[in-house]
Chain A
């Protein structure tokens, strides 16, 4: 039999039970990469002496190398490097990283770079005059950022942010390569006993597809809301 439908249906609960792991990876990836991205974007925009060079170097390295390679690099290098640090500090400890930590680190390193581009282009899209106006009424730059620039930038960033998050959810599937039992990992494990890889991978694909469709819907609703907000403010700003 080419496709064992019965086996595929039976494997659904088992594969779905790994969904939290995938969501957890995506959430960690999102939160940390937004922080790194914001930091990198601001360092580059304000040309902070050493940091902006470091940030540019980081972007240059990360964006030219596939996530898969980064994942394997972190997988082999991180435990060794951490062990070195622990030994240097003189602690009597053996570093034992769980696969999910390795996968998270790689994902965050990778998406921090992409997120910084999303954030930078959004921040740059806000008219410089707004910052000047904020300064003129006595706001400090950080305050103007939080109150004036970032709220407007978020609206601009939404479409790119949506695409990046959708890409990230898909890329969490690589984590099974370093033995994380996420949706892919569960699919591989369940298939392993009867070699029914096709069935379980098809089920996994459907789950990712559903996740993406939901995310797309959420972002299109958010974008509509944001546009509504734009339409209301633009005429009054012109008047």
Chain B
């Protein structure tokens, strides 16, 4: 069976790109969450112009396929740097840079809506109560809004992060060698022989990582809802599910 051999042979090669894929994912998540918070704050502020600009931008990010965003950033930024700023070296820049920018902007746009929803779901009375005992805005954000908002935003955020990880499979269209890119490279190298096995291996690697990520998010949710389980019913552990 050619497929089975190809499956076994390609598996270690696919695993070998996991560290760089994780690094890209981690950077995307860090930038995405930070930028998402900034977007959410701007969207909640009363700054009319910034608000309008961001609303259009987020609508675009959410309303167009991610693969087009990646391609536009890739071709657009390259053209901008080469022809606009005269940086000839931009042609040789790693696709990872463009992928990181495209994924971060996309993740931030989706997250900002989740964060905004979480903020708005916190009872106004709590903020008024915090003000009445003399807390300033930063303290209110840190002690009142963030702990409750994080708990509300977490399930949605976990799903978005999982989607974003799966979306890394799109970046091979600009030549990034992540799991899918490596798999396609292997399939091309063998001229399609055993391609079924190779793509099955790619699917399995993605599946395992997604499974573990999902478990991690469930655990984080469970961990952060500790104080809700203070009364300690025996079924406490199911609260995170």
Are A and B subunits of one complex? yes
Give A contacts to B, CB under 8 Å.
Answer: 1-3, 61, 63-70, 72-73, 76-77, 80, 166, 170-171, 173-174, 177, 184, 197-198, 201-202, 204-205, 208-209, 212-213, 216
Contacts of B196 in A (CB 8 A): 73, 76-77, 80
Q: Which residue of A lies closest to B165 (CB)?
A: A66
Q: Which residues of A contact B203 (CB under 8 A)?
A: 65, 69-70, 73
Contact with A along B111-148 (1 / 0, CB 8 A): 00000000000000000000000000000000000000
B49 to chain A, nearest CB (A): 21
Shortest Cβ distance from A199 into B: residue: B75
Please measure, in the bound complex, the distance between the C-alpha atom of A204 and the C-alpha atom of B200, giving whole angstroms. Answer: 31
User: CB distance A64 to B210 under 8 Å?
Assistant: yes
Residues of chain A with a CB closer than 8 A to B187's CB = 76
In the complex, A173 Cα to B63 Cα: how many Å? 12
Known contacts A66-B167, A209-B59: does B207 contact A170 (CB below 8 Å)?
no
Binding site for A on B (CB under 8 A): 59-60, 62-69, 71-72, 75-76, 79-80, 83-84, 166-170, 173, 180, 183-184, 187, 192, 195-196, 199-200, 202-203, 206-208, 210-211, 214
Are B72 and A64 interface neighbours, CB within 8 A?
A: no
In the A-B complex, the 10 residue pairs with the smallest Cβ-Cβ separation, listed nearest first, are: A212-B63, A64-B207, A173-B65, A66-B166, A66-B169, A64-B210, A76-B195, A68-B169, A198-B75, A170-B65
A209 to B169, CA, bound (A): 22
Question: In the complex where A64-B206, A64-B211, A66-B167 touch, is A170 in contact with B199 (Cβ < 8 A)?
Answer: no
A-B contact pairs, 22 of them (CB 8 A): A1-B83, A2-B80, A2-B84, A67-B166, A68-B170, A69-B199, A73-B199, A73-B202, A76-B187, A76-B192, A76-B195, A77-B199, A184-B68, A201-B71, A201-B72, A204-B68, A205-B60, A208-B63, A208-B68, A209-B63, A212-B64, A216-B63
Give, as a whole number of angstroms, the nearest-CB distance from B187 to chain A. Answer: 7
**Number of residue pairs spanning A and B whose beta carbons lie under 8 angstroms apart:** 106
Given A170-B64, A197-B71, check contact A72 B199 (CB 8 Å). Answer: yes
Taking a contact as CB atoms under 8 Å apart, the answer to whether B169 and A171 are in contact is: no
Q: Are A61 and B173 in contact (CB under 8 A)?
A: no
**Contacts of B72 on A, CB cut-off 8 Å?**
198, 201-202, 205
By a CB distance below 8 angstroms, the chain A residues around B214 are 64
Q: Say yes or no: A198 contacts B64, CB within 8 Å.
A: no
Q: Nearest-CB distance from A95 to chain B (Å)?
A: 14
Measured CA separation A177–B199 after assembly (Å): 15
- Nearest A residue (CB) for B67: A173
The CA of A167 and the CA of B179, in the complex, are separated in Å by: 23
Complex CA gap A65/B206 in Å reads 6
What CA separation (Å) do A171 and B180 show in the bound complex? 17
Question: Within 8 Å CB of A202, what residues of B?
Answer: 72
